[in-house]
Structure 1
């Protein structure tokens, strides 16, 4: 592995999960395999309505998220337990798989998400 610094910009992502007027997630992968995502969810966005169909309609979100909230109010619910957690500006968070979520209020939610490289065994 090289010892070079790598920079990327979310305005030219590797992939884009486009949720039209509800928002979207810009996704990019670094040379090390680490993934970074910039998520924007507009007021009225729900995981059930806006993201679930784009993922093949799993029962709950299958992803593990580690990230930072830049703005807005996101309510995340662990489906099995029904426990809801509010994520707001300034929160660094970790969310296990098995959740859904919705934007609470009239402010757009903006998140930066990170995922570790997936190691091949």
Structure 2
């Protein structure tokens, strides 16, 4: 089996979730289905108002997120417990399904997220 290196760029995403003035998520996928996402959330962005409608309005975000915060601050709340976690520049994180989130403060939050093939967007 020949091995090959795959390279994708967020500037040429396979999918783009455009939430107008509040955010965008550029999604790239490798041949095996592994996904990488570059998320930019502007001040005032909330999962409830901006992303939930794009996902068919589930009660909470149904996805698991593994990622790295490039800049800004995000507050993530687990719906079952109400526990809030503050994610900020330099944090590597894993967020289980069943959450919502919002940008904290006056700066945009920028994140890189990874999803294995079975958790595709």
The alignment's TM-score, normalised by the length of structure 2, stands at 0.95
The alpha carbon displacement at 1:28 in A equals 1.1
Superposition map of 1:44-59 within 5 A = 44-59=44-59
Equivalent in the alignment of 2:11: 11
Equivalent in the alignment of 1:86: 86
Deviation string for 1:64-109 (max 9, x for gaps)?
0000000000000001100000000000000000000000101100
In the alignment, the residues of structure 1 paired with residue 57 and residue 8 of structure 2 have an alpha-carbon distance, to the nearest angstrom, of: 30
The alignment's TM-score, normalised by the length of structure 1, stands at 0.95
Q: State the 4+ residue runs in structure 1 displaced beyond 6 angstroms.
A: none
Q: Which structure 1 segments of 5+ residues have no match?
A: none
Superposition map of 1:66-81 within 5 A = 66-81=66-81
Deviation string for 1:7-40 (max 9, x for gaps)?
1100100001110000110011101221000000
How many pairs align?
Answer: 119
* Aligned-residue CA RMSD (Å): 1.2
In the alignment, the residues of structure 1 paired with residue 11 and residue 40 of structure 2 have an alpha-carbon distance, to the nearest angstrom, of: 13
